[in-house]
Structure 1
Amino acid sequence: MRLEIIEDGGVPFDVSIHEGDKNCPVVLFAVGSGGQPERYSTLLKKLVESDFTVIAPHFERLLSPHPREEELALRGRRLSLALSAFSQPGAKVVGVGHSIGATTLVALAGAQMWLGPGRQVNISREKTLLRLALLAPPTGFFQAPGALDALKVPILVWVGSEDNITPPSQSEWLAQAISSSQKADLRITNGAGHFSFMDLAPPNTVEPLDNKLEFIQEYSSEVSKFLAG
């Protein structure tokens, strides 16, 4: 892994680059609210072992469970800037995101993200994204009429049955809402919680899974297979 620094309107931010073989496909990785990609070390390692290069911008931690428009727009913009800076022209690009990162990728792939009536988040579409793997995504942002109409890529949605932050009903709604226009693969792991996808969960969280490491290895392998499809 190497750490690079690029700028967004003169403001520097970090990007982790996990390099696979030359000319291999690219994974754009969108972290959750904590903002630190290395908290998902098993997943990132498996993606590289599966012949992907991973581009993972770092972000400031979101302090509120209800992100502001400018915070969401910044994440979308910096994901695109990082992808442009570190991917080769013509490379196959896929996306993996957890929690609010997953939601941001859905918007980058063409969906409209809304915070309320007349409050659409300005995130420009990234047309190079070919597939998305979404881990515990919050989906209330997309329930406006027509918000998902432009989303046309295959999607894997994975959530834990014990997730009390983005409950399975949110992932079930997304899979059903997009199933008429493209493939949606929904997986619900019994006993898993919102942070079960992370090697290093936030402080003061309780892990509901007894076999968390086994689950992380399983989902990381399955995500890699899906993205290679």
Structure 2
Amino acid sequence: MENDKYSGLKKVEVVDDYLDVTFPMLVLYPTETPEKEEKIGPYLVDVSLDAKLEDERYPLVVISHGTGGTPLVYRHLARDLAKRGFIVAMPEHPFNNVKDNQLERTTKLLRSRPKNITQVIDWFDHSDSFKDHINFEDISIIGHSMGGYTAIAVTGGTPTTLPWETGNETPERIDVDVDERIKKVILFAPALGWFRNEGALEKVNVPIFIMTGERDEITPSFHAEILLNGVINREKIVHKVFENAGHFSFLSPFPPEMKVTSFPPSQDPEGFNRELFQQELAADVLSFLLS
């Protein structure tokens, strides 16, 4: 990707009035201030901390990470988008992240995750630093794995619980507020089993780019089929299957010391080049966002 600007980075806190907590969020954005290498969590990233935001309006992209994950594993994609003129929000979902995952496999999580996305957009709408720099008519969401659930739920999907998420194993429909400010959805290996019921996706009516891995054993092909068969306007969906890609191939490459078999997110099917794939992924994402 040809880059026009540098990537600025701010660390902020967002209020979650449903769980009554605040959660951290990284914001990457275009800047003219040169980058330098910074240690963000366990990773080294070239960014310009707290740099000046240029006096323009930019599209907003929210990235929703997978269950028990961290937004930092999408750092390469986020930085590429920021350098190409996007403001990128990377929230850490409360109680469903690498540091604290107590809400995993609960009904409460199904309710809270979509709310986080609306809370993020509201934060920008009230932020003195960013509100005048956001094009609120051009907001997109990228969701990986459980982030895919989040993206579909907040754009009109009606989820129903899975057996282990309720005390009596009785399916329960989850009411989710749709955020109509979101105009496009990009899904990486999405987890969509919650939308298996007939009619669950009939209100989803935004352009969707779904990317899946041929060798994904965590969210295999039936997840994509739920979406492809459930959305009424099939013409709004683009589906791309990446040859030999696994579930975690969509994450930024990990440092050599983290590439061990005991850490599945660092692993890919044999012969898969994650570093090269990230370039193709970023180009595909940018093309869809600009279309």
Q: State the TM-score, normalizing by the size of structure 2.
A: 0.72
The 1-side partners of 2:220 and 2:171 are apart by 26
The reply on whether 1:12 has 2:39 as its aligned counterpart is no
SS in 2 for 1:25: strand
Q: Note if contact 2:213-2:247 (Cα within 8 Å) is conserved in structure 1.
A: yes
The reply on whether 1:188 has 2:235 as its aligned counterpart is no
Q: Note if contact 2:212-2:242 (Cα within 8 Å) is conserved in structure 1.
A: yes
**CA deviation after TM superposition for structure 1 residue 25, in Å:** 0.6
Please point out which of 232, 249, 268 is paired with 1:207.
268
Q: Comparing 10-19 with 193-202, which one deviates more in the overlay?
A: 193-202
The 1-side partners of 2:226 and 2:109 are apart by 25
Aligned residue type for 1:204: F
Return the structure number with greater relative CO, CA threshold 8 A, min gap 6.
Answer: 1
Task: Tell me how large the CA RMSD over aligned residues is.
Answer: 2.2
Choose 1 or 2 for highest CA Rg.
2
SS in 1 for 2:223: helix
Aligned residue type for 1:38: L
- For residue 119 of structure 1, what is the aligned residue in structure 2? 172
Please point out which of 121, 125, 136 is paired with 1:90.
136
- For residue 156 of structure 1, what is the aligned residue in structure 2? 209
Please point out which of 212, 216, 225 is paired with 2:278.
216
Structure 2: state its 5+ residue gaps: 1-8, 31-53, 126-130, 163-169
The superposition leaves residues 12-59 of structure 1 with CA deviations (integer Å, 9 ceiling, x where unpaired) of: 210111123531110011111133111111111121123111112112
Aligned-pair identity in percent equals: 25
**CA deviation after TM superposition for structure 1 residue 221, in Å:** 1.4
The reply on whether 1:3 has 2:6 as its aligned counterpart is no
Structure 1: state its 5+ residue gaps: none
Q: Is the strand fraction higher in 1 or 2?
A: 2
Aligned residue type for 2:24: D
- For residue 73 of structure 2, what is the aligned residue in structure 1? 39
The superposition leaves residues 81-105 of structure 1 with CA deviations (integer Å, 9 ceiling, x where unpaired) of: 1111114473411111100001111
**CA deviation after TM superposition for structure 1 residue 75, in Å:** 1.5
The 1-side partners of 2:14 and 2:233 are apart by 39
**CA deviation after TM superposition for structure 1 residue 179, in Å:** 5.8
Q: Note if contact 2:193-2:226 (Cα within 8 Å) is conserved in structure 1.
A: no
The reply on whether 1:142 has 2:195 as its aligned counterpart is yes
Q: Note if contact 1:26-1:91 (Cα within 8 Å) is conserved in structure 2.
A: no
